[in-house]
Amino acid sequence: MALTETERPAAGGTPGKGVPRRPVGNRRRFTGRTALVLFLFMLPAIVFVGLFTYYPLLSGIQMAFRNYNLNDLSDTSWVGLDNFRTLVGDEMFRGTVRNSLVWVAGSLIPQFLIGFTMALWLRRRFRFRGAYQALVFFPWAVSGFLIGILFRWMFNGEFGVVNDLLMKTHLIDTPVPWLADAKYAMVAVIVANVWYGVTFFAIMILAALQSVPDELYEASAIDGAGKVRTLFSITIPSIRTTLALTVLLRVIWIFNSPELIFGMTGGGPANETHIVTSYMIQVTQEGDYGRASAMGVMVVFVLLLFAVFYLLAIKPRTPRRKVAR
């Protein structure tokens, strides 16, 4: 039964005139028993998250401060900041930090631009759109390591399809040793990662685009806005939050996804394509869990800082009202 105007609660939550108050005696009080019931309902989730997320996390953090080497567990004593000091003094680690920045920037920008373009294109109605969408989203279903191995063969200097195509189209005269030369190898792994990650942006941006009301586009068309104006005045502002969060997520994922590099170059040639996380895996394989955990802690710390600053930077600013004097 609809409430009449007088019966509706007034703004602020206080009952309006004529609304019968619920008798105080009947109000459910938050008792200890209720708390226990709620806690028991939450217990399975607490146990699972604690066991599979926080225990490994805390275990990893404490390992970073220990001499924890799987090859010799006779002395796993606390070593304070030694693992971190070793890393800071490790020239190779510093190189992987530089490579990580190149890897993230080099992968993210093309992924974003191509993914955005694809999403805009896939939003339009055309024949076989469903089939195109399925094709475009396919790479996302394949493991990064496998993609790495695939591209390793494609970029092979002697029997790879990339050189074959470039030679046949006369873009190059002699085969390019893609994975054998440091300057080409980084380009090759980034190309593979762009191909792999474009899909993620396309999926996310397409989903956001579909939530933008058509009326806005109709109105902008009536107002005589061109395609570029519509893009910057309607489309981008409408999906701003999705774009921002997608970029944030992708930065974290790209930084944390060494499997493609591992499959494609193994960090070579001469460690030139190692990023921090692929180097971390290598150190783990060598058994030095202490040093690898120290890297892990550093990565988490840096990514947390980045996330905080990034979210602060993209936070919508409400314009201050001018105080009337």
Q: Are 181 and 269 in contact (CB under 8 A)?
A: yes
Phi, psi dihedrals of residue 8, rounded to the nearest 5°:
-65, 145
Q: State which of positions 26-45 bind other proteins (CB under 8 A).
A: 33, 37, 40-41, 43-44
Q: State which of positions 136-175 bind other proteins (CB under 8 A).
A: 156-159, 174-175
Q: State which of positions 287-306 bind other proteins (CB under 8 A).
A: 287-288
60 forms part of the interface with other proteins (CB under 8 A):
no
Contacts of 13 (CB under 8 A, 6+ apart): none
For residue 270, the surrounding DSSP H or E stretch is none
Least Cβ distance, residue 269 to other proteins (angstroms): 5
Backbone Cα Rg of the chain: 28
266 forms part of the interface with other proteins (CB under 8 A):
yes
23 forms part of the interface with other proteins (CB under 8 A):
no
The tokens describing 195, both together, are: 């191909």
95 forms part of the interface with other proteins (CB under 8 A):
no
Least Cβ distance, residue 271 to other proteins (angstroms): 5
Of 60 and 177, which CB lies nearer to other proteins in the complex structure? 177
Build a one-symbol-per-residue string for 246-265: x at contacts with other proteins by CB under 8 A, - elsewhere. Answer: -------------------x
Q: Cβ–Cβ contacts within 10 Å for residue 104, how many? A: 20
Contacts of 161 (CB under 8 A, 6+ apart): 153, 154
The tokens describing 223, both together, are: 């107002």
* The only residue of 286, 304, 305, 308 in contact with other proteins, by rule CB under 8 A: 286
* The only residue of 73, 146, 207, 304 in contact with other proteins, by rule CB under 8 A: 73
Phi, psi dihedrals of residue 113, rounded to the nearest 5°:
-65, -45
Q: State which of positions 197-236 bind other proteins (CB under 8 A).
A: none
Phi, psi dihedrals of residue 227, rounded to the nearest 5°:
-65, -45
Residue 216 Cα to chain centre, angstroms: 30
Instruction: Give the count of alpha carbons within 13 A of 75, CB side only.
Output: 2
Q: Which of 62, 48, 115 is nearest to 249 (CA)?
A: 115
Of 2 and 45, which CB lies nearer to other proteins in the complex structure? 45
Least Cβ distance, residue 165 to other proteins (angstroms): 15
* The only residue of 99, 193, 271, 277 in contact with other proteins, by rule CB under 8 A: 271
Least Cβ distance, residue 40 to other proteins (angstroms): 3
Segment lying near other proteins (by CB under 8 A), choices 58-66, 69-77, 98-106, 211-219: 69-77
The DSSP 8-state label assigned to residue 212 in this structure reads: S
Size of the site for other proteins (CB under 8 A): 41
The tokens describing 198, both together, are: 């474009």
- Contact footprint for other proteins (CB under 8 A): 33, 37, 40-41, 43-44, 47-48, 51, 69-74, 156-159, 174-175, 177-182, 185, 265-271, 282, 284-288
